[in-house]
Amino acid sequence: MAVSGLAPVASASASAEPYLPAPTGSRPVGTTSLHLKDASRPDPWVPSVKARELMVSLWYPAEAPGRHRARYMTPKESELLLKDGDITSVPADTLSKVRTHAFTDARPAGRPHSLPLVVLSPGHSKPRSELTALAEDLASRGYVVAAIDHTYENVAQTFPDGRVTTCVTCEMKKGPAEWVKLEKGRAADVSFVLDELTGARPKWKYARLIDTSRIGMSGQSAGGASTLSAMAADRRLRAGIDVDGTVEAPLPEDGLSRPFLLLGKPATYTPGKPGTAANWESVWAGLHGWKRWLLVDGAAHTSFTDLGVLVDQFGIEDGADIPGARALAITRRYVAAFFDQHLRKKPQPLLDQPSASYPEVKFCAPEKKTCA
């Protein structure tokens, strides 16, 4: 998980089965995975690999619950992720036992061309599984969700033949040029996945359910930063969210006119604050469509992913001053509201002003250097 600052606390206990909070939508959730190979380009990090291979998880609304709940990750992936995060206070296979709410290969629900599609991209070194709780929630609300593992950019990724790739980019010394390469490479991954899901011969047998005019993207950390590059490169993406990600790749000269949400933590992204906040201020200036800059009081970098919930259950401190379950509830609610408004054209007053139901969420006015 490559998260600094994680430390066990006195109340640590991993005796209970770890779990993700239940989705908030009305539909059961199905899930499946796809192994995709892009023969048109070599892997950007391991050039000897002549085709870019990706693993993608799909979540979708199901007609009924299935028989088998989806596994969160394999025992080997759990071992490597916990080792990478220096988490030794729980058994190595703990993350393989996380209880999810999606059912493997359950039959999808929906009419042809009726379901919006949301692409998810995880943080650097992180697996796609770490966005499962958000994906399940969106699927329960009627979205198809595609989370991409960006090969050699995460600590552990398993292919159907049993191969486990590890994080080549984690060993690299990375300056701005390397982060730009990563963001643009992820944009290429996203466009390829969209081709495979919406082209003439889609790789998912239920792909006809997808409404190709309603596609959005959200990512956390490097995945959030990559959302801007992906939108700049592919106009099929109608709306996007950067969740706590510092952006290196510049926007096009004429900026971006499609809806965009910046969602992060005050410690890093408070307008007018020296340092990283200036990065978002530069991005903000290039956003010419609908836009919001929202910060969640008490959040840490991990708060916007499953990790915030799980470390609380493990009794591990991650620096957050907000419970992981609360931070996840906020993330789910605002991400869903954003896509409901911009992909489904359902107005969301939640996005217009502060809410008494979510007092932790501050609306920022970068031009005034204020958040309220």
- What is the reported pLDDT for 15? 53
Residue 275: the pLDDT is 85
How far apart (Å, rounded) are the C-alpha atoms in residues 319 and 333? 22
pLDDT higher than 80, residue 87: yes
Higher-confidence residue of 11 and 167: namely 167
Residue 144: which residues within 8 A CB-CB, separation 6 or more? 58, 59, 60, 115, 116, 117, 118, 209, 210
Q: 66, 83, 75, 84: which is closest to 30 by C-alpha?
A: 66
> Terminus-to-terminus CA distance in the chain, angstroms?
32
Q: Rounded CA gap, 13 and 49, in Å?
A: 42
Alpha-carbon span 45 to 169, nearest angstrom: 7
Token readout for 26 is: 């009305």
Domain boundaries, the chain: 7-371
Residue 230 has pLDDT above 50, yes or no: yes
Whole-number pLDDT of residue 232: 98
CATH (residue range 7-371): 3.40.50.1820
Q: What mean pLDDT is predicted for residues 104-126? A: 97
- pTM (two decimals): 0.95
Q: Which two tokens stand for residue 23?
A: 């989705």
Q: Give residue 9's pLDDT.
A: 43
Rounded to 10 degrees, the C-alpha dihedral 310/312/317/321 comes to 120
Q: What is the pLDDT of residue 274?
A: 84
- How sure is the predictor about 4, in pLDDT bands with cuts at 50, 70 and 90? very low
* Structure confidence at residue 49 (pLDDT): 97
pLDDT confidence tier of residue 2, bands split at 50, 70 and 90 = very low
Q: Which pLDDT score, from 0 to 100, does residue 175 have?
A: 95
Does residue 366 carry a pLDDT above 60?
yes
Distances (CA, A) of 52 to 45, 127, 152, 223, 306: 10, 17, 10, 18, 27
What is the SS3 assignment for 119? strand
pLDDT at residue 108, rounded to an integer = 98
| Residues listed for the chain | 372
Q: What mean pLDDT, rounded, does the chain reach?
A: 95
pLDDT in tens, 271-307: 998 889 999 999 999 999 999 999 999 999 999 999 9
Angle at 197 between CA 227 and CA 254, to 5 degrees: 30
Averaged pLDDT for residues 112-137: 98
pLDDT tens-digit readout, 170-212: 999 999 999 999 999 999 999 999 999 999 999 999 999 999 9
The token pair that represents 262 in the structure block: 């910046």
Evaluate if residue 314 carries a pLDDT over 90: yes
CA dihedral 181, 59, 198, 341 (to 10 degrees): -80
For strand 361-365 and strand 29-38, is the pairing parallel, antiparallel, or unpaired? Answer: unpaired
Alpha carbon distances (Å) from 219 to 119, 198, 254, 350, 361: 8, 20, 23, 21, 19
Residue 10: is its pLDDT beyond 50? no
- According to DSSP, residue 11 is labeled T
pLDDT above 60 (res 152) = yes
| DSSP at 150 | -
d(CA 175, CA 121): 21
**What is the Cα 72 distance to its own chain's centre?**
15
Cα 277 to Cα 41, 82, 88, 179, 283: the distances in Å are 35, 30, 34, 17, 10
The pLDDT assigned to 1 comes to: 37
Which pLDDT score, from 0 to 100, does residue 294 have? 98
pLDDT at 171: 95
Q: What is the pLDDT of residue 6?
A: 56
